[in-house]
Structure 1
Amino acid sequence: MHVLMVAAENDALPNAKVGGVADVVRDSPKALVAAGLTVDIVIPDYGFNHLDKVLLGKFAVPFAGRIEQLEISQVASTEQGIRQFIISHHEFSRHQGAVYCNDDDNRPFATDASKFALFNSAVCEAMLQRLLSSADVLHLHDWHSACVALLLKYEQRYDVFSDLFIAYTVHNLALQGIRPFNGDLSSLEAWYPGLAYNGEVLCDPRYPNCFNPMRAALNLVDKVHLVSPTYSLEVLTASHPENGYFGGEGLENDLKRLQSAGKLVGILNGCEYPQPACVDDVTLSQLYDDIDQVLLSWMAKQTQLETSHYIAHQRLKLFMQNPQRGPLMTSVGRLTTQKALLLVQPDQQQLSIDSICQLLAEQQGRLIMLGSGDNVLEQHMTQAMARNNNFLFLKGYAHSVGESLYQLGDVFLMPSSFEPCGISQMLAMRAGQPCLVHSVGGLRDTVKHLENGFAFSGATLTSQTQAMLCTVKEALALKLDKPQRWQAICQQAKAARFSWQQVAEQYILDLYQ
């Protein structure tokens, strides 16, 4: 069986990772090849100027009333059975190598939607011109590749692919790429003028005058995949964000129909477990030195000193001067409402993040958080760091720091309001660090309370927040008072396995046919 994967991210290539989809597109092909398949992967060329690659051809693509000239190249790969392709156009690489552009709320997704609409056209055309090999299964990832399904369904020139089996993975239902049908340069009819389509299948249920790429894919492909069993059930219920519940995000009726038809599957993503585990022992002192260098490099990039970096550097010096005595809580991930909503909920006269810091302070413990994202949440964390001298917030991302935090932490904090799968908890567990999580989505499928970690839940934002704080208190008390029980939980976390081999088997049996 030959599979062609189409995605926006791929961590097998440099600087082509933003979220977990990049890990999936990097790792799942290796497991599929081990199971006897061959896999091709194609993503946009965001400016991969220094890659070892071979130009396969130049080709013309009709788009937005013009004929665009694009190039497709194959990237040198050492992985048997896997071929990496990139498609080049100035629209993909003109954003300083960024995978995504953050448009303002007046025109959400506008730049990215147009960029990926062109990329999707190019994929279809490259398939037609045999610049990409014919596949048995076309595997599309998230809304960025959804227009491939749209064009293969409605554009007559691609009728030759009418029997091609299409699988579609939803990594995050909250991001759907919604744009108008018309009346904007970034709209369906502007990209594909003259395309005959069924608006009832493509429209957003909440905004009927808008095109929803994710809904289009759900309705046009053969099989739909959610990235954990629990998440595949949660999305069948409408979201109620006021109660802290994030489910179908407007697409619950389509997803229920797919489930009834046997076209919806929930398969947990995997994690790589190197054999032998080649992890260098890192010390807290080495981590602090690394953070120092990272902070200085972040500060050097700007002419004006950022408040967050300044306070973090001052806090780091305090940490370095005073040896660690209590537990170290860690957190690594994007700072978004999805990940951090529960950390900024009110608790008495303060925020819940302050309450967590105070619980840690009772045992002379510390919290180190690495991540960036939403400006308001970044400001909340910066202000909380200023209020709590045992909290170090690093506004950004540094791979080496993240890896050290997975290894050195005593408990990993991941209170996501929703989590389709999650990879951070798997990486922390792999290093033997138990996780403290909100029992939703993939977190519920991986972390078991008092077995290999700590989990909480609640029916409202208030009850979720209080349950989180109670669980923090419970975990810290267990570490202090019952060290043998704590060590057993750590060992169970380290022993847990979420293998890509098992995922590949489920892909072949449940997703690819």
Structure 2
Amino acid sequence: MHVLMVAAENDALPNAKVGGVADVVRDAPKALAAQGVNVDVIIPDYGFEHLQRDYIGDVTVIFRAQPQVLSLFKLCDDNTHINQFVISHPLFSQSGSVYCNDEPGRPFATDATKYALFNAAVCEALLQGLIKQPNALHLHDWHSACVAVLLKFDKRYRDLANVHIAYTVHNLALQGIRPFKHDESSLEAWFPSLGYNGQHLCDPRYPHCFNPMRSTINLADKVHLVSPTYSKEVLKPSDYQQGFFGGEGLELDLQNCEKQGKLLGILNGCEYPEEPSHSASLPQLYQQIESTLFTWMAKKPQLESGYYIAHQRLQQFMASPVKGPLVTSVGRLTEQKVLLLCQSFESSLAIDKVCQIVDEFNGRIIILGSGEEALEEVFTKAMARNSNLLFLKGYGQGVGDLMYQLGDLFLMPSSFEPCGISQMLAMRAGQPCLVHSVGGLKDTVKHNENGFSFNAGMLSKQADSLLKCLHETLTLHKEQPKQWQKIKANAKGARFSWTQVATDYISYLYQ
């Protein structure tokens, strides 16, 4: 079997990771290759000129009514079952990062144009035989959606129209919606001669807009959600007042997929490398944090208040040993991840209440992550108010790895979570997690068995339930050490193997 994966991210390549999709595109091919599948992976070239690679050839596509020449490269890889490809064009590398932030009112505009061009080049490379035609074409998230649109509607690619398309939805909240026309970043601006069925491609809430994610859900042969529970949640409409995040407007399309038998819920996997021979220590973590903070500080001529407060707090932590539990959290600062922590309680926020509860047990909290500017500011101010909170605005692999190893309790109160990787990494290191029982978190964390979970109705009740669960969990940590060690061992022993994922892909997703 031969599979071609098309995605925006791939952590097998440097600086091509933003979220969990990069981990999947890095790890799934290895598991498939171990079962004899030949896998090609292709992403845009974000600036990989320094890597050892072979020039395969050029493709010319008509894009925005102009010919555009793009170059295909294959990166040298010792694994004969996996080929890593990148497609080069100035549009892909000009921003210096994977994704761009557009001005308000034009969401996804820059990225949608970039990925539409990339998708067109993938189709052309397949047509010209620069990339071997696969048995299954595996598209990831909205960034690869135009591949399906072009293969199904552009007469130029009629010979490829029957290739089996598997589509993985990593996060239904991000759909890449753009206008059909009257905008330089629109479907008809990119492909002015394309004939298409607007009923298949339009957004159900904004019929004048092209919805890449909905398009591929309708056009694909199989649609894959990244956990069994999430695949059920998305069949129901979202109800933000009640704190429920479901189908995000695409629930009817997904219900139709289920009726057709083409909707799958397969949990992502996690790799389990050999454990390091030496155990980490808190002084190591503090040293790593300080080194990382200095690196962040040096990037700008003026010192940001958040980094100054963080360094002062770190000095306080280093001066006095921690007496109680260390609570950790690692992840992007988005509403999805931290909405519950931002809920108001009279004169304070839920994050302040969390700090107060942890302080009752003489504990500390370290949060590592960056994201939306407004949320970064919320957590910086919360750090200033709470002497047991250290907020590190950014991401450092070394810091994150040590936090997984050294934390006593990992906090992940996501409002929704298609799969989640952070809880798997914490559990792998033997750190029990406290999670909101939704999506992949519900499928991986079992209350009072290998971790702790909460659930409730509307947002305010969810926040109350989080605080209650946290207090009960830390009480158990203090008063029932044998039970805690059993839960810790169960967390460490849990396995979510890529081997099983690859088997399910082969049996269900690619057939």
If the TM-score is normalised by the length of the shorter chain, which range does it land in? Answer: over 0.9
Number of the residue aligned with 2:101: 102
| CA–CA separation in structure 2 for the residues paired with 1:260 and 1:224 | 12
Does 2:32 align with 1:4? no
Alignment of 1:417-432 (within 5 A): 417-432=415-430
| Deviation per residue, 1:244-276 (Å, 9 max, x gap) | 1100000000000000110100000000011x3
Q: Post-superposition shift, 1:23? A: 0.4
Counterpart AA for 1:232: S
| CA–CA separation in structure 2 for the residues paired with 1:336 and 1:459 | 21
Alignment of 1:18-417 (within 5 A): 18-96=18-96, 98-274=97-273, 276-278=274-276, 280-417=278-415
Unmatched tracts of structure 2, length 5 or more: none
| CA–CA separation in structure 1 for the residues paired with 2:179 and 2:375 | 29
| Deviation per residue, 1:74-110 (Å, 9 max, x gap) | 00112230000000000001012x0000112211000
Number of the residue aligned with 2:455: 457
| CA–CA separation in structure 1 for the residues paired with 2:278 and 2:199 | 55
| CA–CA separation in structure 2 for the residues paired with 1:2 and 1:49 | 27
Counterpart AA for 1:249: E
Q: Which moved more, 1:288-297 or 1:83-92?
A: 288-297
Q: Post-superposition shift, 1:279? A: 6.1
Counterpart AA for 1:187: S
Does 2:42 align with 1:13? no
Q: Post-superposition shift, 1:280? A: 4.4
| CA–CA separation in structure 1 for the residues paired with 2:478 and 2:428 | 23
| CA–CA separation in structure 1 for the residues paired with 2:436 and 2:17 | 25
Counterpart AA for 2:432: P
| Deviation per residue, 1:361-417 (Å, 9 max, x gap) | 111100000001011111110110000000000000000000000000000000000
Number of the residue aligned with 2:440: 442
Counterpart AA for 1:201: H
- What is the DSSP-based 3-state SS (H/G/I as helix, E as strand, rest coil) of the residue aligned with 1:353? helix
Q: Post-superposition shift, 1:277? A: 2.5
| Deviation per residue, 1:33-79 (Å, 9 max, x gap) | 11121100000000012111000112211111000011000001122
| CA–CA separation in structure 2 for the residues paired with 1:202 and 1:459 | 33
Counterpart AA for 1:138: L
Q: Post-superposition shift, 1:303? A: 1.5
TM-score by length of 2: 0.99
| CA–CA separation in structure 1 for the residues paired with 2:251 and 2:480 | 44
- What is the DSSP-based 3-state SS (H/G/I as helix, E as strand, rest coil) of the residue aligned with 2:33? helix
- 479, 488, 491: which one pairs with 1:490? 488
Counterpart AA for 1:436: L
- What is the DSSP-based 3-state SS (H/G/I as helix, E as strand, rest coil) of the residue aligned with 1:193? coil
- What is the DSSP-based 3-state SS (H/G/I as helix, E as strand, rest coil) of the residue aligned with 2:339? helix
- What is the DSSP-based 3-state SS (H/G/I as helix, E as strand, rest coil) of the residue aligned with 1:429? helix
| CA–CA separation in structure 1 for the residues paired with 2:220 and 2:31 | 23
TM-score by length of 1: 0.99
- What is the DSSP-based 3-state SS (H/G/I as helix, E as strand, rest coil) of the residue aligned with 1:132? coil
Counterpart AA for 1:162: A
Q: Post-superposition shift, 1:134? A: 1.2
Unmatched tracts of structure 1, length 5 or more: none
| CA–CA separation in structure 2 for the residues paired with 1:158 and 1:322 | 66
| CA–CA separation in structure 2 for the residues paired with 1:91 and 1:476 | 50
RMSD: 0.8
| Deviation per residue, 1:405-460 (Å, 9 max, x gap) | 00000000000000000000000000000000000000000000000000000111
- 461, 469, 472: which one pairs with 1:471? 469
Q: Post-superposition shift, 1:197? A: 0.4
Number of the residue aligned with 2:500: 502
Q: Post-superposition shift, 1:347? A: 2.3
| CA–CA separation in structure 1 for the residues paired with 2:121 and 2:277 | 41
| CA–CA separation in structure 2 for the residues paired with 1:363 and 1:279 | 31
1:279–1:73 CA distance, 2 compared to 1 (3 A): farther
Counterpart AA for 1:186: S
- What is the DSSP-based 3-state SS (H/G/I as helix, E as strand, rest coil) of the residue aligned with 2:174? coil
Q: Post-superposition shift, 1:149? A: 0.1
